[in-house]
Structure 1
Amino acid sequence: MFTGIIETLGVVQEIKKEDDNIHVTVEASITHELKIDQSVAHNGVCLTVVAIHGNHYTVTAIDETIQKTNVGDWKKGDAVNLERAMKLGDRLDGHIVQGHVDQTARCLSIENANGSWIFTFEYDSALQNITIEKGSITVNGVSLTVVNSKKNQFSVAIIPYTYEHTNFKNFQVGTKVNLEFDVIGKYVARLYAAR
């Protein structure tokens, strides 16, 4: 379980393909605190640490993960949002995030709002995921509040702190991002659809 509050940015150092899997080596300031078999969210994707070397660690993504997320688009030098799993008893500053990406979206627009930014994303509504006004959404692992919810798109408002401390500062129109929709909303929608 995660909260969507990003701890730090990591930088992709190496990507190795092996059969249908890819092994991604990341350099991060938190590496010295990690251990083998630990879960870390990378742009919202829960991946297991399989090796640690100095200030670098390696995670493996299987084909299922590559197909449903933006992991397959990563390249050397890319910044990724990192969050370690939450500890029981910690404050839940964001919202309940599983690290299980539902689908990807594309950035449609970035609007400078005089001290903040409005990012608008479009996703495939055929997968039946939904947003609601003022509901929770996770974009590249960042816990955010939905504004301007529509059938296949939504916007989020980004404050300067989030902009500077996540990879939102690298987004452009067309950037592919990972989405995890609100877990409670997903269950309610599924139950409602089954009626």
Structure 2
Amino acid sequence: MFTGIVVEMGKLLSSSDGVLTIESWLAVEGGQVGDSIAVNGACLTITSLSEGQFSVDVTPETLRRTSLGDATQGLAVNLEPALAYGGKVGGHLVQGHVDAVGSLVDVTPEGNSYLMTIDAPPEIMRYLVEKGFITVDGISLTVAGLSDTQFTIAVIPYTYKHTTLGSRKPGDKVNLEADILAKYTERLLKEGLGEAQSSSE
């Protein structure tokens, strides 16, 4: 489990045969092999660890269903170690299970912040509400606006500077994870309606 608060921007050193090696100093400090770490929002397991870098295994499924499949050497990635029980939840509860990949449509400066519009598939849009949570490349963000196929986030200068959002351009792919509470609510409501219909028959 994570909170969507990026600890560090790492750098992809290599990607070969299902193994990503990433430069990192802060995100893995005090960590060990076997720990979970979110890489651009995808929960992965540290398989090797040395000074200034770590490696993770990625399955073909992960490469297909996340933007990591297009990752190239030198790419900056958002990193967050797993939340320890009793730890501070600075964003919202994030599983690290990427639901879909979206596409950045527009970046518009507004005052001291940036409005970023993202095109997202229906399996994401159904769970979004204004002022609700959305995870974009592992970052806990608030939905500022919605249309049928797109949503907008307002990004403060700190987040823009200290995460990969600052280097994103229209057309770039981003990993998306909907709020788990919205998914549970939908499931419970569906089951409740089903039981109500059965009892009325």
- TM-score with structure 2 length normalisation? 0.90
CA distance in 2, matches of 1:32, 1:128: 36
Is 1:91 the equivalent of 2:93? no
Aligned twin of 1:9 = 9
For residue 83 of structure 1, give the secondary structure of its aligned residue in structure 2.
strand
Picking from 70, 82, 87, the partner of 2:79 is 82
CA deviation vs aligned residue, 1:111-134 (integer Å, no higher than 9, x gap): 011210000101111577421110
Picking from 23, 29, 36, the partner of 2:25 is 29
Once the 2 structures are TM-superposed, how far is the Cα of residue 71 of structure 1 from its aligned partner? 0.8
Is 1:66 the equivalent of 2:57? no
Is 1:54 the equivalent of 2:51? yes
CA spacing shift, 1:110–1:38, aligned 2, 3 Å? same
- Greater shift in the superposed pair: 99-108 or 120-129: 120-129
Aligned twin of 2:104 = 107
CA distance in 2, matches of 1:166, 1:159: 11
1:130/1:151 contact within 8 Å kept? no
1:129/1:186 contact within 8 Å kept? no
CA distance in 2, matches of 1:66, 1:146: 26
1:32/1:55 contact within 8 Å kept? no
Unaligned runs of 5+ in 2: 194-201
CA deviation vs aligned residue, 1:13-52 (integer Å, no higher than 9, x gap): 01102xxxx1000001124422100000001100000011
- TM-score with structure 1 length normalisation? 0.93
Q: Counterpart amino acid of 2:2? A: F
Which has the higher Rg, Structure 1 or Structure 2?
A: 2
CA deviation vs aligned residue, 1:65-108 (integer Å, no higher than 9, x gap): 11111110111000000000111112211000011110010001
- Greater shift in the superposed pair: 115-124 or 183-192: 183-192
Unaligned runs of 5+ in 1: none
Count of residue correspondences? 191
Q: Counterpart amino acid of 2:8? A: T
User: What is the RMSD of the two structures over their aligned residues, measured on CA atoms?
Assistant: 1.4
CA distance in 2, matches of 1:128, 1:191: 19
CA distance in 1, matches of 2:93, 2:147: 22
CA distance in 2, matches of 1:174, 1:14: 23
2:125/2:150 contact within 8 Å kept? no
Once the 2 structures are TM-superposed, how far is the Cα of residue 53 of structure 1 from its aligned partner? 2.7
For residue 146 of structure 2, give the secondary structure of its aligned residue in structure 1.
coil
Aligned twin of 2:196 = none
CA spacing shift, 1:159–1:126, aligned 2, 3 Å? closer
